[in-house]
Amino acid sequence: MTTPVLLTFDLDAEQLWSARDPDSENKPVWLSQGTYGPNVGLPRVLGLLSRYDIPVTFFIPGKVIENHPRAIESILEAGHEIEHHSHTHKWSDELGAAGELEEFERGYDAIVRATGRKPRGWRSPAGELTAHSIGYMERFGLDFSSNLFDSDSAHLLADRGRITDIVELPFAWVLDDAPFFLYSNRLPGRTMSAPSAVAESWMREWDGISTEAGTHYMLAMHPQVIGRHSRLWALEQTINHIVESGNAEFLRCSAYADRVRPGLLEERNNAS
């Protein structure tokens, strides 16, 4: 039995720090944490992926695409896909319907301009959906989502009792680098974990998920976080562990969504 492995990276850059802070332009140190992502962390991440020949998915806000064109070029040149992650990384549940629609439109257009292709997938900033989010995904023709924490398996996204055609690819905080590593002296209560402990956690999750049929293993990471040498070591340890198991297949999110969609649609239609 082969288990799909989906490595995903949210290239939020400065938007991670500025989206909810109107005074951020006057805080260069605060913003510099995000600048590290496209300038330093991303090249290291791309180098690691190249050594292992792993295709991945990047979720990127439109404003980051506009502000860091060379970083976007390097991702595309490496053969990875870029998907929708809003425009400014403002939290969807704080925007209202019109504000969320504007984020969808501007982020979508930025991806089309930079890549020449329409985005297919969407990950919400800060991992939250609103009553309008799924309708906007359908309106813009997006056919997969990676937002929920409800399963280790792909399923069709439900909108208030209606089962849509959108494939949901769930992930989990335990397979995200931010809870372990994201730190700032302005974020109360934050601590940093030892990379060895994170690698152990991620490897043990793989050991369990890979024994269950119909599951996938998804890591959600951020170049400004995972791109530090010690954290990249944790990722490489995890990759080596997965590769050595002999039962992994590394895929982009869109490829896996395409694979599972026919069966999920058939299951839905037979149940109706």
The pLDDT, as a whole number, for residue 14 is: 94
Token pair listed for 173: 């905080």
**pLDDT one-digit tens code per residue, 7-62:** 999 999 999 888 777 777 778 888 999 999 999 999 999 999 999 999 999 999 99
3-271: CATH topology: TIM Barrel (3.20.20)
Q: Give the position of tokens 């690691």.
A: 48
Neighbour count for residue 131 (Cβ, 10 Å): 11
Taking alpha carbons only, the member of 216, 221, 215 closest to residue 198 is 221
Measure the CA–CA gap between 106 and 111, rounded to whole angstroms. 9
Residue 272: the pLDDT is: 76
Alpha-helical regions (H) of the chain: 15-18, 28-36, 42-52, 62-67, 69-77, 96-115, 133-139, 178-181, 195-209, 223-226, 229-245, 253-271
Q: How many Å from the N-terminal Cα to the C-terminal Cα in the chain?
A: 30
Show the low-confidence residues of the chain (pLDDT under 70): none
> CA 101, CA 92: separation in Å to the nearest integer?
9
d(CA 104, CA 92): 10
- Residue showing tokens 């980051």: 64
**What's the pTM?**
0.96
Length of the chain: 272
Residue 191: the pLDDT is 85
Domain boundaries, the chain: 3-271
Helix axes 229-245, 195-209, angle to 10 degrees: 20
How confident is the model at residue 200, as a pLDDT?
98
Q: Which long-range contacts (CB under 8 A, 24 or more apart) does 209-213 make?
A: 209/3, 209/152, 210/1, 210/3, 210/245, 210/247, 210/248, 212/152, 213/1
Please give the Cα distance from 148 to 166 (Å, whole number). Answer: 13
